[in-house]
Chain A
């Protein structure tokens, strides 16, 4: 049973997430969007979207960091006040995100709300799964102390075993059901990724930080079919402002 839950299911989820995600990107990139409803409902969104996105992003980063660098994480946290502070911060962020997603759900509920009109069945499934996931995460932090530590010896080796293609669920099989549920639901979120609006996560436009402000697209390269350009006419020095001369 644990082989199926903790080895087969995660692989299926990851393969589908990558495979379907890429397929969707290549065949129907138009469907990649944050499908924002801010135009339709502006006020409640602030109290939902901001806590949710900031809370969940920081929590996820902590999970990923602990997974990638278990040894480093362990030595940073130790067993003293730093661990305690870290756990308190994590719990607070989880509740922060939970409040956010409850508001995000609530703003879509009223039948007269304009946000409801643009809510798909997949949105409801995703919202519900994410809410449960955040709440179980908070419950794990509360009832199964000290997660930041046992994560390093239980979850991290398991996740590494999946990545290195030598799957081994031995470290997670004996864990309490609540924790196991949290793990499985995590992979359920990954499974949902290509079938929902969650695809916007991988489209975070980091390159906006350094791209030129102006984007000019040429059907043909205006300089290509010319004789060599004299030095004085060569492409002007690129300031942060100059155009990206892209070719379609």
Chain B
């Protein structure tokens, strides 16, 4: 057992209202520089939809992530030698048009335009060439199902749905969608790291944050192809790859990451997980439908004395173990089994987990009256979005695992309704709880963390003890002298 600590996240999709506040908090903080305009380290996608960049989930096209080949785990992208041969031209790189060309408007024209018959307009100009452009795509171009015949209808996760089911999804009065906020998953088995020829991308041992060394990055672009979530972006100005840094400068000073801090719906949770690094490879090699369970098994119980002892051996201190015990992520993922990784079949063992959204209920029209009272708290049978779709997103297509999560989520609702309103018979409540294999105590805990939890319960930031870590390798006085003074130069593009 080789215990490692990982800062990981849970996003509760039921609570996401799609306001994009997270995206903007991130953009203002990190990606408002030239070359990064099109980067959305945090983005919020409408599902069904093709996501950002378009069709990123389609690995037939992009070859991201890992594949199992004769029992060996290999990059889907290419062999090592094959990657080197493709340095001059990477055939699996999305082009800027798969994202969008960033633009601004000639606002001055509104003021400076000579007097005339028409209204002055502010024409859009490309932020790259400075020339006028026709805008063909932009951030969240398919927000709230806009352009669904082009975007939502081509969602790769619709595979396995019958033609009838697909048409139902987009029929008037049956339209359904939900939001999927995405940041870098800070995977336990990151394929961007494995794909980088320069060895510039690395996972931090102490907290599992995946970073791109801007010094070492040579702009070979393989990480972008290697990441199946397309969460590494190429800065066209500096010629370097950049990605979500999980706001590590904020985390190290005990602040929640900007996207999480600003989340209006309070959907985001952050906490430490302990996991067994010796089991990464064998976990990633499991058959598709066993991946979620295997990843859960890889995550260790911080209350287990054996785990604690081994964690101590690896330099994980008591403060971190305390944080791992209070971690909301541990509760959702391991104890309650409510949170699932996005696309486990990519085999990168993503460390960001999602509580799938309870599907909206179907109302019916009868005698001119709209009625949705029959099954208001929704049941799996009346789900508007087929379980198949959710299974394609979160469990590599295994519907039973998603259904188990939903049974528990529904049980929470039924139980709390019976408790507060009292219009549900006790035997139905008991039956629902039994089906969901849960207990009233567990439901109260889930309810507490889902609906009432305050800031400090949602974000249990472990002590990073960077100062203690520095002391081990460097004299702190020298460290202080070395930072902030001297001749520094900004990140400027090479000649």
Contact = CB atoms under 8 A, between A and B. Distances in A.
Interface of A: 28-42, 45-46, 49-50, 52-54, 111-114, 116-118, 120, 122, 195-197, 199-200, 203-209, 211, 213-220, 222-223, 225-226, 229, 233, 236, 239, 241-243, 245-248
Interface of B: 2, 73, 75, 80-81, 83-84, 87-91, 93-96, 101, 126, 128-131, 189-190, 193-194, 196-199, 201-206, 214-221, 234, 236-240, 277-278, 280-281, 313-315, 466, 469-470, 472-473, 489, 491-495
A53 B88 contact: yes
Contacts of A209: 80-81, 84
Contacts of A35: 219, 239, 493-494
Contacts of B80: 208-209
A28 B215 CA distance: 8
A226 B315 CA distance: 8
Nearest to A54: B88
Contact of B204 (A37, A54, A217): A217
Contacts of B126: 114
A33 B495 contact: no
Given A116-B129, A220-B473, A248-B473, 10 more contacts: A33-B217, A33-B218, A45-B89, A53-B88, A111-B129, A112-B129, A114-B126, A205-B84, A218-B205, A226-B315
Contacts of A199: 494
A108 B71 CA distance: 46
A219 B205 contact: yes
B203 A215 contact: yes
A150 to B, nearest CB: 32
Given A34-B218, A214-B193, A222-B205, A39 B88 contact: no
A220 B492 contact: no
A49 B205 contact: no
Contacts of B493: 31, 33, 35, 118, 120
A117 B219 contact: no
11 contacts: A33-B238, A34-B220, A39-B94, A46-B91, A116-B129, A205-B198, A209-B81, A209-B84, A219-B466, A222-B315, A236-B278
B218 A38 contact: no
A39 B37 CA distance: 13
A165 to B, nearest CB: 31
Contacts of B197: 205, 208
B492 A31 contact: yes
A199 to B, nearest CB: 7
Nearest to A222: B315
Nearest 3 CB-CB pairings of A with B = A31-B494, A35-B239, A218-B205
B129 A39 contact: no
Nearest to A52: B88
A113 B130 CA distance: 11
A195 to B, nearest CB: 6
Contacts of B473: 219-220, 247-248
Nearest to A122: B495
B190 A220 contact: no
B221 A215 contact: no
Nearest to B191: A213
